[in-house]
């Protein structure tokens, strides 16, 4: 297998290799100029979506925009032409050709972090599992989470605590969707932290209700608790950020989390089956990897010399090794280039404006209860609601009859959900409002 041939020239720091790297010869420039993408119709044309539908659930799984499709295709051709040499060069030889390093560097540029603090994953789920299984938790430790997180977040906690003996609790951040307050949510978390609490796990944008949490304020409240604690007793903030990344301000490192997991195959429109975890370097150093890595030469060296690794863990140790669908993983930078070409502030403004327009239209209907707040800072890219006397699935079915693709929220009590992204239009909001009025 390829590992035996590697010279593993990759240094333990990304800085040298990636900074010096020339554009990959494999792939030509993929993104239209920013000027081409100034017009939302041009953005929409980048997607191969079936024009017969209003697609209001694309956060579920990305449709690849043209630059991403082209990048995947380009790497696929390269792999089909020469799988051995392509993989050897991209994983095990010169740092400037190393694709995982390049992908980490591109993510870091977008989120405002250090490439060395990023592990590559297949999705949000894998990232959360790597975090919770990797944390140095033990019997007597407590994880605090909320009633509003996704199944995969709670399952990652349950599976990890069943192994490490820690306990976990869920709390509600509000009692009623009518009166959600940022102050109260922050306060509830702060008050629920016990002396043995080591982790708080929350979700940036709830896919149950569309609510966006004030993560920076939660981080600051936890910081106040930590100011009174020793380093060993610190409370860590873990964030499932998948419905914020690609919608909100990209500088997620500034949110103040200790660890952040997101798939890049939803709002980023990256290749399906891609994602990342960013965590503070001190946290990575305290964690234990779950899977063998192919991106950390020191682990291979230690194994070859039949000794334990002689240095603290780092993010690269957590990128799952083994051969992957490389054409997808390596094409991820094209998705970030696409976002940057459109402009993140424009993307945020557009997504907020479309979803607020929908929220306001739904609130005009007497038979509809809207759960997503319309207060600035508390919504992102989706609107969740109920129609009185109808099940959420019936609402979704009725909309589908009118060629509008909505979804139900995958939670114990499902709501109907509409999500407008960069490929949607104000006309689609109006069309959906008309359909809703006829229900």
Ligand X SMILES: Cc1ncc(COP(=O)(O)O)c(C=O)c1O
Q: Does residue 46 interact with ligand X by CB under 6 A?
A: no
Six-digit token string for 329? 């993983």
* R_g over Cα of the chain: 22
DSSP 41-63: HHHHHTB---TTSEE--TTSSPP
**What whole-number distance in Å separates Cα of residue 375 and Cα of residue 370?**
13
Q: Which of 406, 116, 379, 373 is nearest to 244 (CA)?
A: 379
> Given the complex with ligand X, which of 87 and 416 has the nearer CB atom?
416
| CB of residue 229 to ligand X, shortest distance in Å | 29
| CB of residue 158 to ligand X, shortest distance in Å | 15
| CB of residue 149 to ligand X, shortest distance in Å | 7
389-425 as b/e, with b when 16 or more CB fall inside 10 Å? ebebeebbebbeeeebbbbbbebeebbbbbbbbbbbe
Six-digit token string for 237? 């903030």
Answer whether 261's CB lies under 8 Å from 240's CB.
yes
| CB of residue 213 to ligand X, shortest distance in Å | 11
Answer whether 311's CB lies under 8 Å from 298's CB.
yes
Which segment (35-43, 239-247, 339-347, 392-400) binds ligand X by CB under 6 A? 239-247
Single out the residue of 123, 145, 372, 424 in contact with ligand X (rule: CB under 6 A). 123
> Given the complex with ligand X, which of 240 and 386 has the nearer CB atom?
240
Q: Does residue 203 interact with ligand X by CB under 6 A?
A: yes
| Size of the residue set binding ligand X (CB under 6 A) | 12
Measure CA 384 to chain center: 20
**What whole-number distance in Å separates Cα of residue 299 and Cα of residue 308?**
8
Q: Does residue 329 interact with ligand X by CB under 6 A?
A: no
Single out the residue of 124, 161, 319, 355 in contact with ligand X (rule: CB under 6 A). 124
Six-digit token string for 419? 């999500």
Which segment (38-46, 121-129, 291-299, 355-363) binds ligand X by CB under 6 A? 121-129
Q: Does residue 248 interact with ligand X by CB under 6 A?
A: no
229-259 as b/e, with b when 16 or more CB fall inside 10 Å? eeeeebbbbbbbbbbbbbbbebebbebbbbb
> Given the complex with ligand X, which of 293 and 407 has the nearer CB atom?
407
Q: Does residue 207 interact with ligand X by CB under 6 A?
A: yes
Single out the residue of 141, 240, 248, 337 in contact with ligand X (rule: CB under 6 A). 240
Q: Does residue 263 interact with ligand X by CB under 6 A?
A: yes
Which segment (19-27, 192-200, 240-248, 278-286) binds ligand X by CB under 6 A? 240-248
| CB of residue 413 to ligand X, shortest distance in Å | 15
**What whole-number distance in Å separates Cα of residue 403 and Cα of residue 55?**
9
| CB of residue 356 to ligand X, shortest distance in Å | 20
Q: Does residue 173 interact with ligand X by CB under 6 A?
A: no
Single out the residue of 106, 150, 212, 417 in contact with ligand X (rule: CB under 6 A). 150
Q: Does residue 125 interact with ligand X by CB under 6 A?
A: yes
409-414's contacts with Cβ under 8 Å and 24+ in sequence apart are 409/207, 409/208, 409/209, 409/384, 410/150, 410/151, 410/207, 411/151, 411/208
Single out the residue of 31, 58, 79, 242 in contact with ligand X (rule: CB under 6 A). 242
| CB of residue 77 to ligand X, shortest distance in Å | 27
**What whole-number distance in Å separates Cα of residue 252 and Cα of residue 123?**
17
- Go through the chain and tell me how many residues it has: 439
Q: Does residue 320 interact with ligand X by CB under 6 A?
A: no
| Interaction site with ligand X (CB under 6 A) | 123-125, 150, 152, 203, 207, 240, 242-243, 263, 275
């Amino acid at each position: 297998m390829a590992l035996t041939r590697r010279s593993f020239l990759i240094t333990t720091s990304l800085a040298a290799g990636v900074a010096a790297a020339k554009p990959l010869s494999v792939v030509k420039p993929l993104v239209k100029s920013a000027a081409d993408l100034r017009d939302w119709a041009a953005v929409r044309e980048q997607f191969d979506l079936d024009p017969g539908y209003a697609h209001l659930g694309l956060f579920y799984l990305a449709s690849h925009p043209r630059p991403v499709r082209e990048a995947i295709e380009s790497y696929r051709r390269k792999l089909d032409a020469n799988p051995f040499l392509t993989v050897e060069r991209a994983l095990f030889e010169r740092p400037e050709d190393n694709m995982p390093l390049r992908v980490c560097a591109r993510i870091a540029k977008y989120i405002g972090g250090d490439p060395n603090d990023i592990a590559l994953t297949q999705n949000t789920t894998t990232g959360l599992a790597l975090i919770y299984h990797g944390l140095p938790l033990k019997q007597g430790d407590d994880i605090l989470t909320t009633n509003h997180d996704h199944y995969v977040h709670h399952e990652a906690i349950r599976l990890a605590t069943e192994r490490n003996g820690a306990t976990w609790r869920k709390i509600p951040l509000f009692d009623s969707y009518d009166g959600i307050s940022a102050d109260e949510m922050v306060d509830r978390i702060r008050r629920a932290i016990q002396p043995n609490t080591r982790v708080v796990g929350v979700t940036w944008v709830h896919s149950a209700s569309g609510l966006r949490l004030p993560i920076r304020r939660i981080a600051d409240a936890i910081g106040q608790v930590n100011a009174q604690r020793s380093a060993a007793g610190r409370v860590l903030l873990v964030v499932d950020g998948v419905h914020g990344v690609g919608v909100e301000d990209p500088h997620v490192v500034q949110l103040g989390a200790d660890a952040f997991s997101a798939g890049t195959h939803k709002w980023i429109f990256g290749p399906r089956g891609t994602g990342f975890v960013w965590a503070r370097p001190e946290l990575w150093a305290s964690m234990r990897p779950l899977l063998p890595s192919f991106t950390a030469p020191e682990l291979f060296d230690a194994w070859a010399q039949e000794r334990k690794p002689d240095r603290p863990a780092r993010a690269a140790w957590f990128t799952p090794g083994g051969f992957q669908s490389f054409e997808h993983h390596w094409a991820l930078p094209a998705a970030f280039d696409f976002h940057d070409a459109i402009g993140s502030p424009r993307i945020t403004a557009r997504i907020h404006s479309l979803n607020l327009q929908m929220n306001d239209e739904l609130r005009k209907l007497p038979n509809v209860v809207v759960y997503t707040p319309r207060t600035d800072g508390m919504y992102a890219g989706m609107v969740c609601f109920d129609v009185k006397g109808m099940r959420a699935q019936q609402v979704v079915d009725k909309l589908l009859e009118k060629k509008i693709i909505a979804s139900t929220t995958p939670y114990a009590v499902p709501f109907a959900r509409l999500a407008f992204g960069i490929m949607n239009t104000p006309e689609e909001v109006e069309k959906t409002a008309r359909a809703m009025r006829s229900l």
